Structure formats: structure tokens, C-alpha cells
Structure 1
Amino acid sequence: MIIPGANRRTVRIKLPHSSLYVVPSVIVLVWIGFFVTIYLMNTYFHKTTSSMQQSFDGQERQLVDQITLKNSELEQLQNNLIDLSQQTDEFKAKLEEIKKLEHVVQLMSQTGGTSKISAASNSGSFSGTGSDVGGTEVPVNSQEVSQLVSSTKQDLSSLVGDINALLANLTESEAKLKEAERLRNITPTLWPTDSRNITSGFGIRKDPFTQKPTMHTGLDLDGELNDAVYVTAAGKVVQAGYDNQHGYHIIVDHTRGLRTVYMHLNKMLVKRGESVTKGQKIGLMGTTGRSTGTHLHYEVHKNGVEINPSPYLIQDRKDDR
């Protein structure tokens, strides 16, 4: 029964006896459903939270591993940079040695290879490979690494320029050296005999036959019969024959206006038109022609004029080999 007020009609609701069991049951079922829903939601939230936590933990570990790897790679790159910088210093030291060698080559090309030249380094070089080192451990910062990168880059750029210039200089020096070697080879600088005994020099003397003053246009070198006679420079035999004045004689042209003459031979070992190499045996010493005894009459002609051979006698045959 519902009594709304004094002036209103009373409302009566008649429920069956079964409602006394149904209504509480419904209320109980509603509460049970509520708690089941809360439980399911709580379970789902817990599982979702746990899954998210595991995912976050996995991502965190992955990020830590990646950071560790990047740090290791960065440290390796820094070590490689240090090695590159040290190798650059070593290469610069080697390049300085090559430059000194190139300077020696230039000197040799200028002197024609007849002077003894030596070169020594007065400065040390840093190898960067020693194991006996020490010091405190101080980590590097990004600015120091950047400076090392910049310095190494500049050094490498400078080395490239130095190498290009050095290659050009070496090429030029090689050409000069080859030309110097060619000139040395065709210049009569050897003694034509094993004997060093000069019995008659270049210049005015008494003729051994007439005793009158005459011009002796060469050097007379003493020796034994059939001693070896060597050509004093590379060239081409332009004359090989016999006459009453010179006996068996050989004339060799060395180009550049230079010729050498070998007289009074007992035997000739080369023929006209034959090319000869410096120090080659071309004849045997004798006393043919206008001669008073066994010897070699040796002459040097420059542009068709007989000159004193003495300044050209500066090398033994063994030095040329």
C-alpha cells in the first residue's frame, strides 16, 4: 500500500506470495553480476598491465643493448681514428725519407753518377706501435675527437698533395738520372789498360826517332805484349785498320763530338761498324807502326781536335761494372 498524502488516494499493490522469493533472488543475482563484472574487469586490467609492463621491460632492455652497442661501436671508431692518425704520422715520416731519396737522385743526376753521395736523417720519427707506454686514463670528449678528425683529415689532404708533387719530381729526376747515366756511359772516363804507367804525356816532346820537337797528341801507356786494351766509353767503331804510322789502330765514336783512338795494337778484336760497350776488350797491346816498343798510344778527340786525355782518366774498369 502506498499512501501519497491525506488528500490523495491510497494506492494498493497486491503482490503474489512468489514475489517474496523472486525479488530477493533478482537482487542477489544483480549483486553477483556486479561483483563478477568487477572481478573480470580487474583480471583483464591486471593481465593488460602485466603484458604492457613486459613489453616495456623488453623495449627497455633492447634500448639498453642498443645504447651499449652504439657506445662500443663509437669507442671502436675512436680507436680506429687514433690508429689512422698514427698511421698518417708514420706515412708522413716515410714520405720524408722518400723526399730525401728523391733529393739524392737529383744530386746523382746532376753529378752524372761519378760522385759518392750519402744522406742521413737528423730527425726522429713517431711509429705509434711501441708496447712500452704509460700514463693515466683520461676519457676523451667530443671536442677532442672532432679536433683529431679535423687534424687527420688535413694531414691526409696534405699527404695527397705531397705524393702528387713527389711523383712528378721523381719522374723528372728519373729522366735526369737516365740522361746522366747515358752521358756517363758515353763519356770516356776509364783507363784503357790495366797499367797506370804513363811513359809519354800529352804535349810537346822530342820525337823518339828524329829527336826534334814535336807535338805528342795522346798518352803512351806502358805494358806487356798482348795486354788487354779496353774501350773507355760506349760507342761505335768507325775505323779499324792498319797503316805505317799508327799500326793496327781503332777509332771509336762516342757521339757528342767525342772520339777515342787506340794505336800500335798487336791485334784488333772488333771491326768497323761494330757497337761496343764501356769497358769492353777491343784489342791487344803491341808495337806495330811507328813505335819504339810495346805500349798503347791513346788519344781523345773533341770536335775533331786532339785534347789531353788525362782529365778523363778517372775510373778503373771495375768501377764501371
Structure 2
Amino acid sequence: MKKRWLTKKWSLLVIRDATQGVKQVDVPMMLLVSVPLLTAVSVSSYIVGLKMNAASQIEGLQHTIHANATASKLEVQASEQTIDELQNEIIRLSSDAQSMKARMEHINTMESTLQSLIQKYAKTDQPKETIVTSLPWDAMEDIGGDYFPVDQDEIMRLAQETTQEYDQMEAILDVMRQNVSNTVQHVKDVFQNTPTGWPTSSRRLTSSFGYRRDPMTRRAAFHAGVDIAGSVGDPVFAAADGKVITTGSDGSRGKYIVIEHSKGYQTWYMHLHRIDVREDERIVKGERIGRLGNTGRSTGPHLHFQIVKEDQPIDPLPFIMPTEEE
């Protein structure tokens, strides 16, 4: 039966027109069945091939999109990380700048103190120097030059270098602050313990240090100090920190005080109206120690003031010349 089906034929009658005869064509059953089947298989294979090709292309596109998305995500993360690092650097630099500003203000204060001490007690004829300083980075007036844009990596490098420079500057500032502090303290100690203070409220000098005509004998004599005229009862001040080693009264000096200072200095105050300190008492520079008078060998109310250095009288004026403020 199976063989019979395979050998069975179909007769097809072909009628072209009325004038021509009918033509019979015998077609095997196998051919009629196999042709549509092969066509269907070919079409199915073609469709399957198209689907597979489309799936492959879609998968490739998906990989490409995923790779691009991953790269974009990494770039965004890198940019965000860079921004975070820049922000942290800026915050740190801002904090360092505030700290440095406070240190600089402290140094400026100490420098001002030092300058005021120098101006008060020292004379200088040196001209002021002309100083050229750097301008801010955003200065815009009368400038030019090539254009070199700054990229992100350079910004990061600049921030790191700036941080390192700040660290170096902080170390330098610490040394400067310590040095200036030590210098200020040294200057204060020197001036506080050196007889540089003007000893009374009057500024009228009536006799200088050195040889002069004696007011009593009218003969040449050596004057071991300076005479400052005033009114009886005017305050007399200590010229420096020290210790009272002698108070007394005699016919030549009248009522007098001797104060001992550091580095071998002594100051003498004579012809006082009144003594307001005791022997062995510690005295601070500028403190009132007595009252101006006219006692002892004197022709009128005045203070005889002298400075002794290692038992030798020296000219007081280079030490106690009053400043413009006084």
C-alpha cells in the first residue's frame, strides 16, 4: 500500500482554448507533496535564520549599550570622585588659610609691638625700602599673554601642590612666630631693665653731663649727670625695673635714691623733696619713687639724674631722650 502511494500519479488536464485539444500531464504524487514541503522548510529556515541574525545583532547592541553605559557610569563616578577630592582639598585649604591668617595676625601683632618699641627707644635715619608684592590671581587690569587652559588633572595637581606649600608655610610661620616672640620678649626685657625711661614729668634740661662751670664756685667741674628743672612736688619715676639699694640724705645730694638694674646699671635720683620707696624694694619701670625738690647742694627745684655703668658715671641722654609720643 505504501509503495502504491509513492508510485501513484495525478493526471492534470490542461485546456488552453476551444480550438486546441486537451493535454494531459501525469504528475507523481511524491512531487506534488515534496515541492510544497520543501518550500515550507526553506521559508521556515530563512525565517529562523533571520531571527537568529536579529537576535545576534540585538545581543551585540545590548553588549555595546551595556559597555557604553558602564563606561559612562565609570566616567561619572570618576568625575564625582574628582569633585569630592577637589571639595575636600578646598575645604582643607580654607581651614589652613584660616589657621595661617590667625598666625599671621599674631606675628603682625608681635611685629607691631617690636616696631613700637624700636620707634620709642631707638633712632634710625634709614630710608624705607620700596617693596614689590605679588598681585592676586584674578587681577585683570593691563594684562595679556598666551592662553593655556587648565584641565581637571592639573587642577588636582595644583591643589595638592598648594596643600604642600601651605604645610611648608605653616612650618616657616611656626619658626617665625617663635623667633619674633623671642625677639619681642628679649626687646621688652632689655628696654624694661635698661634705664631708658624719662625720670620726671618736666622736660626742661638745665645742665648736661660732663664738664661745666660749677653753679656754686663758678669754676670748671665735672657734672656726673643731667639736671632737669621742675616744680617742687613733681613726680619722679624709675627709669627701669630694678631694686632700691640706697635711700638717704646728705648736704650735697640732699634726699636721694639709688636703684640697681641688670647688666651693671644703676640710676641715681638727687635733691628730692620726698622719698616714696624703701631699701630692698623691687621697682617697676615708670613707677613713682619720690617727689622733685630743692634739697642739698642746689640752686633751685630740679632733679639731678645720673646713670652709673659698672661704677662709672655715663651720659644719661643717649638712654633717656624723650620720644615724640612723650
1:38 equivalent in alignment to 2:38: no
- In structure 2, the CA distance between the partners of 1:208 and 1:163, relative to structure 1 (3 Å rule), is same
- In structure 2, the CA distance between the partners of 1:66 and 1:137, relative to structure 1 (3 Å rule), is farther
1:114 to 108, 114, 122: 122
1:125 to 117, 121, 134: 134
For the residue of structure 2 that corresponds to 1:297, the secondary structure is strand
Letter of the 1:128 partner, please give it. Answer: W
Aligned counterparts of 1:313 and 1:141: Cα–Cα separation in 2? 61
Structure 1-normalised TM-score? 0.64
For residues 69-148 of structure 1, the aligned pairs below 5 Å read 69=76, 114-115=122-123, 119-130=128-139
Cα deviation digits, residues 218-255 of structure 1 (max 9, x gap): 22221111011122222222223334433322111111
Letter of the 2:135 partner, please give it. Answer: F
1:186 equivalent in alignment to 2:181: no
Aligned counterparts of 2:191 and 2:305: Cα–Cα separation in 1? 19
Aligned partner of 1:10 in structure 2 is none
- In structure 2, the CA distance between the partners of 1:72 and 1:17, relative to structure 1 (3 Å rule), is closer
For residues 8-19 of structure 1, the aligned pairs below 5 Å read 15-16=3-4
For residues 165-314 of structure 1, the aligned pairs below 5 Å read 168=175, 171-172=178-179, 174-205=181-212, 207-209=214-216, 214-314=221-321
Q: Indicate if the aligned counterparts of 2:194 and 2:262 stay in contact, CA closer than 8 A.
A: no
Number of residue-to-residue matches in the alignment: 286
Segments of structure 2 that go 5 or more residues without pairing to the other structure are 10-28, 95-100
Displacement after TM superposition at 1:180 (Å)? 3.0
Letter of the 1:196 partner, please give it. Answer: R
Letter of the 2:257 partner, please give it. Answer: I
Letter of the 1:127 partner, please give it. Answer: P
Aligned counterparts of 2:227 and 2:81: Cα–Cα separation in 1? 82
Letter of the 2:203 partner, please give it. Answer: R
Cα deviation digits, residues 172-216 of structure 1 (max 9, x gap): 454344323322222222321222323333344555555665443
For the residue of structure 1 that corresponds to 2:305, the secondary structure is strand
Aligned partner of 1:90 in structure 2 is none
Displacement after TM superposition at 1:268 (Å)? 2.1
Structure 2-normalised TM-score? 0.63
Displacement after TM superposition at 1:260 (Å)? 0.4
